């Protein structure tokens, strides 16, 4: 049985790879993509999503252009990580389709898992509209260190008010944060295994070549975390990531810590268990899944 999913994303190198992983995996069926401003402005992230679908020969999947700014803050983008286009590096085919005018709320039928891999602006708007969401698997947040500030992970930092709404909504949420994504590095050797394997393989290898530059410089990593693909992988195979069910609060009004996902792993606050938080990952198995699946794409 295949799980229907909707990806809400800001492509983004790892968002693009997450989309390709979903398309290559029979365990999930990608119903549609919603884009959000994050890694780049929403006009760019929308165009990038269309290009990725074009590359995979799946321009039939609808892409809806979502929020162009966070709920209550100016947009902060990440050109230092993803380049000016949001997807710098490989040549991608021009889209043959336009964004759809669908209401993504209509895609969220019972059984559909919403997989946000960017700031939670669109998801918070759905919550505020009272749209029923069965389950969310989000790439974002961190128990430990941040990446855009010492305290905050990028997706949480860009729109903390949205994250606070989503984590306060009562919708079951799984948080795949930096604590697990930084444990699985996609190396040059991994990229080389895909380079000769069709156009999707080449593009993923070239995306990782570009993405790796930032991770080498900033962290001295010998590879790059493909953050967003881990959220999709968690839906494909829930045994890859170990989670703990606990309370997560979102900081929205601090000089130093805005966007911090405050994970009460040991339940010291008595707050409700509102999230399943990733604490460990079987990195070799995740990376093999990613490579094997991308290699099957045309």
Binding positions for Ca ion, rule: CB under 5 A:
10, 12, 15, 117-118, 228
Nearer to ligand BDR, 197 or 279 (CB): 279
Query: Which region among 87-95, 151-159, 209-217, 286-294 touches ligand BDR (by CB under 6 A)?
Result: 151-159
CA quadruple 93, 103, 155, 283: dihedral sign: negative
Between CA 89 and CA 73 the distance in angstroms is 29
State the residue number with the nearest CB to ligand BDR: 154
Nearer to ligand BDR, 38 or 104 (CB): 38
Q: How far is the CB of 55 from Ca ion (least distance, A)?
A: 18
Q: How far is the CB of 1 from ligand BDR (least distance, A)?
A: 28
Q: Print burial letters for 23-54: b (CB count within 10 Å at least 16), e (below 16).
A: bbbeebebbbbbbbbbbbbbebbbbbbbbbbb
Query: Which region among 42-50, 91-99, 146-154, 262-270 touches ligand BDR (by CB under 6 A)?
Result: 146-154
> Catalytic residue among 13, 215, 227, 276, which?
227
User: Token match 């000016």: residue?
Assistant: 84
Q: Given the DSSP bridges, would you call strands 173-176 and 135-139 parallel, antiparallel or unpaired?
A: parallel
Q: How far is the CB of 14 from Ca ion (least distance, A)?
A: 6
Between CA 154 and CA 140 the distance in angstroms is 7
Tokens representing residue 21 in the block: 């992983």
Residue 106 DSSP one-character state: G
**Partner in contact with 78, chosen from Ca ion, ligand BDR, none, beta carbon below 5 to 8 Å by kind:** ligand BDR
Q: How far is the CB of 290 from ligand BDR (least distance, A)?
A: 15
Would you state the torsion angle of the CA atoms of residues 124, 130, 131, 137, taken in this order, to the nearest 10 degrees? 40
Residue 179 in the binding site for ligand BDR (CB under 6 A): no
C-alpha distances (whole Å) from 125 to each of 48, 163, 172, 219 are 23, 11, 17, 34
Residue 110 DSSP one-character state: T
Between CA 52 and CA 59 the distance in angstroms is 9
Nearer to Ca ion, 10 or 251 (CB): 10
Question: Considering only residues 25, 39, 46, 224, which one is a binding residue for ligand BDR as defined by CB under 6 A?
Answer: 39
Q: How far is the CB of 118 from ligand BDR (least distance, A)?
A: 6
Nearer to Ca ion, 77 or 274 (CB): 77
User: Does the annotation count 80 as an active-site position?
Assistant: no
Binding residues for ligand BDR restricted to 40-79, rule: CB under 6 A: 78
- Give the residue numbers marked as catalytic: 227
Catalog residues that contact ligand BDR under the rule CB under 6 A.
Answer: 12, 14-15, 39, 78, 81, 117-118, 139, 147, 153-155, 227-228
């Amino acid at each position: 049985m295949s799980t229907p999913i909707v990806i809400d994303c800001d492509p983004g190198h790892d968002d693009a790879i997450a989309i390709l992983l979903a398309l290559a995996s029979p365990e999930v069926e990608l119903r549609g993509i919603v884009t959000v401003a994050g890694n780049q402005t929403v006009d760019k992230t929308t165009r990038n999503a269309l290009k990725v679908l074009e590359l995979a020969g799946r321009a039939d999947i609808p892409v809806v252009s979502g929020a162009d700014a966070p709920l209550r803050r100016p947009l902060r983008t990440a050109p230092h990580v993803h380049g000016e286009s949001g997807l710098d590096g490989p040549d991608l085919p021009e889209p043959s389709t336009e964004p759809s005018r669908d209401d993504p709320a209509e895609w969220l039928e019972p059984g559909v898992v919403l997989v946000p891999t960017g700031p939670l602006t669109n998801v918070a708007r759905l919550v505020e509209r009272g749209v029923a969401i069965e389950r969310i698997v989000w790439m974002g947040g961190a128990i430990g260190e941040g990446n855009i500030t010492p305290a905050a992970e990028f997706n949480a930092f860009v729109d903390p008010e949205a994250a606070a709404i989503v984590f306060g909504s009562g919708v079951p949420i799984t948080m795949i944060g930096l604590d697990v994504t930084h444990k699985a590095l996609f190396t040059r050797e991994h990229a080389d295994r895909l380079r000769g394997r069709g156009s999707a393989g080449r593009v993923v290898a070239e995306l990782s070549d570009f993405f790796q530059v930032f991770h080498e410089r900033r962290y001295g990593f010998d590879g790059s975390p493909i953050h967003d693909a881990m959220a999709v992988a968690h839906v494909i195979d829930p045994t890859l990531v170990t989670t703990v069910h606990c309370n997560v609060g979102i900081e929205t009004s601090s000089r130093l810590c805005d966007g911090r996902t405050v994970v009460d792993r040991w339940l010291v606050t008595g707050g409700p268990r509102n999230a399943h938080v990733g604490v460990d990952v079987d990195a070799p198995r995740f990376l093999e899944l990613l490579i094997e699946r991308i290699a099957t794409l045309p």
